[in-house]
Amino acid sequence: MKRLVLLAGLILVLAGCTNRNTPPPPEPTAFPTTMPSPTLLPVTPTATPVEIPVQVTSETANCRFGPGTVYLSLSEIRNGRSLIAVGRDNTATWWQVEDPINPGGFCWISAEVTEEGGDMQQLPVAAAPLVTITKADLRVEPNRISVGCDQFPQTVFFEAAIDANGPTLLTWQWEASTGVVSDVGTLIYEEAGTQVINEFYRINAPNEYWVKLKILTPNELVEQVTFPVSCTP
């Protein structure tokens, strides 16, 4: 009986020692009760376009492709018509306005023929538009050749009427179906308008021929004409 009591006591002592040497379990990690607020980036306000009313004071006024009388007139505005100016040139002598005749378009009107409804210096300076070749009418003379086969060579003449909407430097080149390519030609436009260039070629045999006019600057444009050449023995 004493042995049982001693054995039970020994077990209790060992259990006590084991409990004293075992580290306590870790305390649970505390989570934050609130999440950090996201950082908000500043919003840059969009600039409001400046618009100032102007009124035409002359009997009629030309609204042009660019700021100057050297540019093509796009619209003719009558006296008393109100326009919305959205820009100006750097000398504040021309206003860029919404074209009332071509919705969605813009044109330029002289300050000399308008009365302003605000401080025009608040308008942004608008760059003059890039001048372009708007049309090239190409024709050949004669447009058909029918001759005796012993009547070659024949000469054909080409003429192109070329429209520019402002002052610019025109460069062009001719190309023929015979493989002939001309040198690059140049022509100065001091103002908007039409100028004519000419060329001629000699034809040595019957065939279906074509000639191209290539506008190189200020913008690219290609016009082509064809002409048949036949002969009878």
Q: What band does 10 get if pLDDT is binned at 50, 70 and 90? A: very low
Q: Does 28 fall in a domain? A: no
Mean pLDDT score of the chain: 87
How would you list the strands of the sheet with 145-148, edge to edge?
Answer: 145-148, 221-232, 207-217, 168-176, 185-189
Does the reported pTM lie above 0.85? no
Q: What band does 162 get if pLDDT is binned at 50, 70 and 90? A: very high
With a cut of 80, say whether residue 19 has pLDDT above it.
no
Q: What band does 41 get if pLDDT is binned at 50, 70 and 90? A: low
Q: Provide the pLDDT for residue 48.
A: 78
**Whether residues 106 and 162 fall in one domain:** no
With a cut of 90, say whether residue 229 has pLDDT above it.
yes
**Whether residues 101 and 166 fall in one domain:** no
Q: What band does 210 get if pLDDT is binned at 50, 70 and 90? A: very high
State the Cα–Cα distance between residues 134 and 218, nearest whole angstrom.
10
Q: What band does 43 get if pLDDT is binned at 50, 70 and 90? A: low
Residue 144: which residues within 8 A CB-CB, separation 6 or more? 227, 228, 229
Q: Provide the pLDDT for residue 23.
A: 56
Q: Does 57 fall in a domain? A: yes
Q: Does 146 fall in a domain? A: yes
CATH code of the domain in which 183 resides? 2.60.40.10
Last residue of a domain, one of 91, 122, 153: 122
The range of the structural domain enclosing residue 97 comes to 52-122
Q: Does 29 fall in a domain? A: no
**Whether residues 56 and 110 fall in one domain:** yes
- Residue 192 carries which side chain, given as an amino acid letter? A
Q: Provide the pLDDT for residue 49.
A: 85
**Cβ contact 166:146 at 8 Å:** no
